[in-house]
Structure 1
Amino acid sequence: MEVEEISDEDETVESQLFLEIYREYMEGTLQLPTLPELALRVRRAVNDPEKSLADVAKIIQSDQAITGRLIEVANSPIYRSEVSANSCMAAIRRLGLDNTRDLVTTFAMKQLFKADNKVLAKRMKELWSHSTHVAAISAVLADMTPSLNADRALLAGLIHDIGVLAIYGYVAERPELLSNEQELDDAVEHLRGQVGAMVLRKWFFASDLVTVVLEAENYDYDSEFGPDYADVVLVSQLHSYFGTPKASGLPPLFERPAFGKLPLSQLGPEKSIEALKEARKNIDEMRRLLGG
């Protein structure tokens, strides 16, 4: 974890917040979001060689909403099957256990994006909307990329700002840090990647997803063995801002190393945009499944 030198006398929100989080992290007392119980149980079951597909299905079926969404994804165009999966067991067979694990984690995470404070509740809602948009585009881009998995890309897109979620949760207990939202925004921009990496390591997520949160705002990121999920999420973020005021302050998509790693880039700028527009229906469907 890289840190900059700051002192107790520095009263800006960014440095004070950074100092508090860093101290608690080093002391082992930093409170970070907990992975939802259902997602945790499914991840443990999938990683347990003594657990069967039926055992995993039984856990998932304790939540009817997530079971329904899992079946919908299994029947989505990404899997291109003419035979419908009409049960949780059939969906898991089609998706595979690893994909099922990542999808259940994705669907369960919505409950983390909540807050009692009105200011934070609004920010959480906006964060969830942005995260689901990036996740949906990521899934579609990964489906166009033979070496990547659409369901893992969906999870990567959803967790790319998990550090922001953690920081909001932290300041929810400290209302004085909400007095200046601009300074809070500055603190978030500075801390999001490092805190996000802390969260994913606490959840025992793989290193490829940790890389996603560390590089999510680094538009010069150039993966050594790309394309990887960080490439996909970076391109998805830029695409998600098309047609919005934020787009004017961002670097051109087609000049980014991440875009050059994707097979989509071989079509050229105009045809790439056209291909993404044609995928709009699948992107919207994925957002709907996520509740974004």
Structure 2
Amino acid sequence: MGTENALYTILVEKIKQDALVLPTLPKIALKVRESADDPDVNLVQMSEIIAHDPALSLGMIKVANSPLLGRAVKVETVNQAVTRIGLRQIKSIATAMAIEQVFVSKNKIVAMYLKKSWEKTIDVASVAIALMTFYKQKNKHSPLSLDELTLAALVHSIGVLPILTEAENHPDVFANPTFLQQAIVKLSSNIGAEVTKAWGFSNQFIELVKSWSDLTMLPEEVHYIDFIRAGAIANDIFKNESTCKVLIKSYVDKGLIPDIEFMQSNEFLSTVADVKQMF
């Protein structure tokens, strides 16, 4: 049995036995999520929690000052940032920002793959968030929320992490990027579902991570999955051109985008660039 097949078999077996080592969500993200669910928590208390993590503090200020929130006056403190963003959005945004911290490895080759994976995730998320920004402008009463989408877009490919971590024990696999990519395509969605389950995410998130790449599942109404898939199309993740055309047409029909050329427009690409500034 070749090294590649051995890795694939090991991954499948560990998934079956619930023995795969899953990444843990940073403690600060767990604390923010727990506090956000407390009905008695206030903005000052949340600011104090976030202020204990310098990276998260700077990230929150950056988000609060991003073009996406469209405010002329810049905030300079964590308390001002939390007040501008609001408690409802803080839970998702803080979690999303903390996720970058799990895309790390001391192994140089693994670190390189993780960096590329995170950059691709940001590319997809930026398109998805930009699309929903335009969509919400015309569909103000939509139950879909931008902060929920932000988190969903940043965890949609989280299943890549355990695969690369396991592959670290089989260095020869990295000499065959094609196989490694095949293993990711075949297994990352199911593994990602296990990761989000372990992190205590809702069933909605778990199902999204599990099924976003399964193109046999086509929501009738506009869904978070649609925005993430559109981001994947924009970044050439789906290789079948005819499938991409069918999906784009369905998004026009559902009112998610105004026309099939919209994602190539200067206005849209400018918004994508603004969104990227948050990360």
Match of 1:3 in 2: none
Displacement, 1:42? 0.7
* 1:171 maps to which of 167, 170, 173: 167
- The code of the aligned residue for 1:62 comes to H
Q: Given that residues 156 and 209 in structure 2 are in contact (C-alpha distance below 8 angstroms), is that contact kept between their aligned partners in structure 1?
A: yes
Q: What is the alpha-carbon distance in structure 1 between the residues aligned to residue 4 and residue 225 of structure 2? A: 26
* 1:202 maps to which of 183, 198, 202: 198
Report SS of the residue matched to 2:135: coil
Displacement, 1:133? 0.7
TM-score, L = length of structure 1? 0.82
Match of 1:43 in 2: 33
Q: Given that residues 106 and 158 in structure 1 are in contact (C-alpha distance below 8 angstroms), is that contact kept between their aligned partners in structure 2?
A: yes
Q: Given that residues 23 and 162 in structure 2 are in contact (C-alpha distance below 8 angstroms), is that contact kept between their aligned partners in structure 1?
A: yes
* 2:232 maps to which of 215, 218, 237: 237
Q: What is the alpha-carbon distance in structure 2 between the residues aligned to residue 97 and residue 12 of structure 1? A: 51
Q: What is the alpha-carbon distance in structure 1 between the residues aligned to residue 278 and residue 152 of structure 2? A: 16
- The structure whose RCO (Cα within 8 Å, separation 6+) is larger is 2
Match of 1:288 in 2: 277
Match of 1:144 in 2: 134
Cα separation, partners in 2 of 1:261 and 1:97, compared to 1, 3 Å: farther
Find out whether 1:211 has 2:207 as its counterpart.
Answer: yes
Runs of 4+ off more than 6 Å: none
- The code of the aligned residue for 1:193 comes to S
Q: What is the alpha-carbon distance in structure 1 between the residues aligned to residue 67 and residue 84 of structure 2? A: 13
Q: What is the alpha-carbon distance in structure 1 between the residues aligned to residue 68 and residue 94 of structure 2? A: 17
- The code of the aligned residue for 1:92 comes to V
Displacement, 1:83? 4.4
What are the Cα deviations for residues 52-71 of structure 1, in whole angstroms up to 9, with x where unaligned?
A: 32222111112223222212
Find out whether 1:255 has 2:250 as its counterpart.
Answer: no
Percent identity reads 26
Find out whether 1:112 has 2:108 as its counterpart.
Answer: no
Q: Given that residues 12 and 183 in structure 1 are in contact (C-alpha distance below 8 angstroms), is that contact kept between their aligned partners in structure 2?
A: no
Match of 1:63 in 2: 53
Match of 2:152 in 1: 156
Q: What is the alpha-carbon distance in structure 1 between the residues aligned to residue 63 and residue 112 of structure 2? A: 28
Q: Given that residues 13 and 187 in structure 1 are in contact (C-alpha distance below 8 angstroms), is that contact kept between their aligned partners in structure 2?
A: no
Displacement, 1:84? 3.8
Cα separation, partners in 2 of 1:34 and 1:197, compared to 1, 3 Å: same
Find out whether 1:125 has 2:121 as its counterpart.
Answer: no
Cα separation, partners in 2 of 1:261 and 1:42, compared to 1, 3 Å: farther
Report SS of the residue matched to 2:278: helix
Identify unmatched segments of 5+ residues in structure 2.
137-141
What are the Cα deviations for residues 19-72 of structure 1, in whole angstroms up to 9, with x where unaligned?
A: 433443444432101011211111111112343322221111122232222122
Displacement, 1:82? 4.4
1:69-80 to 2 correspondence within 5 Å? 69-80=59-70
Cα separation, partners in 2 of 1:45 and 1:196, compared to 1, 3 Å: same
| RMSD, aligned CA | 2.6
Q: Given that residues 231 and 261 in structure 1 are in contact (C-alpha distance below 8 angstroms), is that contact kept between their aligned partners in structure 2?
A: no
Match of 1:6 in 2: none
TM-score, L = length of structure 2? 0.85
Q: What is the alpha-carbon distance in structure 1 between the residues aligned to residue 208 and residue 252 of structure 2? A: 17
Q: Given that residues 252 and 260 in structure 2 are in contact (C-alpha distance below 8 angstroms), is that contact kept between their aligned partners in structure 1?
A: no
Q: What is the alpha-carbon distance in structure 2 between the residues aligned to residue 16 and residue 112 of structure 1? A: 26
Displacement, 1:102? 1.1
Q: Given that residues 217 and 234 in structure 1 are in contact (C-alpha distance below 8 angstroms), is that contact kept between their aligned partners in structure 2?
A: yes
Identify unmatched segments of 5+ residues in structure 1.
1-10
Aligned length: 272
Displacement, 1:150? 2.1
Cα separation, partners in 2 of 1:12 and 1:194, compared to 1, 3 Å: farther
Report SS of the residue matched to 1:269: coil
Q: What is the alpha-carbon distance in structure 1 between the residues aligned to residue 32 and residue 113 of structure 2? A: 29
